[in-house]
Amino acid sequence: MDIVSKRRYFLSVSTVLALLSITILVIEGLNLGIDFTSGTTITYQLSDTSIQTGDVTDALFASGHPEAIVQALGDDQFFIRTDDLGVAGLDDVKEEVEKIDSKARVLDTSTVGSSVAEDTVRNAITAVIVAAIFVMIYIMYAFRSVPNSYKYAFAALVALGHDVLVVLGLFAALGIAINAEVNAIFIVGILTVIGYSVNDTIVIFDRIRENVTLAPGREFRSTVNLSINESVTRSLGTSITTMTVIIAMLLFGGATLRDFLIVLLLGVLIGTYSSIFIAAQVLVLWEKRSFLPWRKATVANS
């Protein structure tokens, strides 16, 4: 199967996905949780299953918190997110909720102050940047026996940036559709996606390195295509197995880990795609310099 010959189609699809992700991130943004924005969350379990989201919203409005966001988690559970309430604010909310259901029970309460939220944002950005830098350093060291090993590091970084950007874009869309929320554990998911993406990319790069060593005279494009075909079964098998486990946990693991598992699922799917159809293709483009207009003219004239 000549995958390399179709590289422009794959790269075009990825470019479109990246542009769409940027667009939705700019227009809508991510649905940030209290870990990043500060505030209070409360999970209530009600005894009266006839109570609707609007009833709980009205109770929050009556307690002096019209900005509160209420989400139904089932027939009898409601998730509330609002500004930092403090002890007095929690008591006011509890009083109003008990007016619509005297047996209402608080399952979970969490409060994050503004200073903690600012630290979380700063640490999250630092963690992603540091991870990307160490990925480049590691790949350049691991492939030091190959001429111009920085090309492999750059290609892996392009695939990595693609994966993170598309996952963020899709998650922003899910924030609109199902109120998927970006919290501290989301960053753990993103870092896991980075690790998985790099691992999958290195598997293919390692096969390219072996084949370059075995047949140094072979055209690089052919070597890359051969390496992809030799690695694709392993990559797909690993990814499908991983996704099967994640889907099972997503279906039966409850709402607590939902957003984290969604990030992992999207990351595994997109990371597998990028390692095969993005990272390796960037190497070929670099080798042929086909992304440089003046290079195309030189090749054509020759």
Left, alpha or beta for 60 (phi > 0: left; psi -120 to 50: alpha)? alpha
> From the CB of residue 282, how many other CB atoms can be counted at a distance below 10 Å?
22
Residue 297 has pLDDT above 50, yes or no: no
Q: pLDDT, tens digit, for every residue of 236-278?
A: 888 899 999 999 988 887 667 888 889 999 989 998 899 888 9
Domain at 4-33+116-301, CATH from 1.10.10.10, 2.40.160.10, 1.10.260.40, 1.20.1640.10: 1.20.1640.10
CA–CA–CA angle 235, 246, 36 (5° rounding): 110
| 118 contacts: CB under 8 Å, gap ≥ 6 | none
Q: Answer yes or no: is pLDDT of 291 > 50.
A: no
Q: From residue 66, how far is each of 6, 46, 61, 70 by CA, in Å?
A: 53, 21, 4, 11
Task: Read off the pLDDT of each residue in 37-66 and give the average, rounded to a whole number.
Answer: 85
pLDDT at 72 over 60: yes
Residues 155, 157, 162, 167, CA torsion sign: positive
How confident is the model over 175-184, as pLDDT tens digits? 888 878 888 7
With a pLDDT cut of 90, the percent of the chain lying above it is 12
Sign for the CA dihedral angle at 98, 101, 105, 109 comes to negative
List of E strands, the chain: 39-45, 69-72, 77-82, 105-112
| Integer angstrom CA distances of residue 27 from 23, 30, 56, 121, 186 | 6, 10, 29, 20, 21
Instruction: Kindly report whether the global pTM for this prediction surpasses the value 0.75.
Output: yes
Which CATH number is associated with domain 40-111?
3.30.70.3400
CA atoms of 285 and 289, how far apart (whole Å): 5
Q: In the chain, where are the structural domains located?
A: 4-33+116-301, 40-111
How confident is residue 27, by pLDDT bands cut at 50, 70 and 90?
Answer: very high
* The pLDDT value given to residue 288: 67
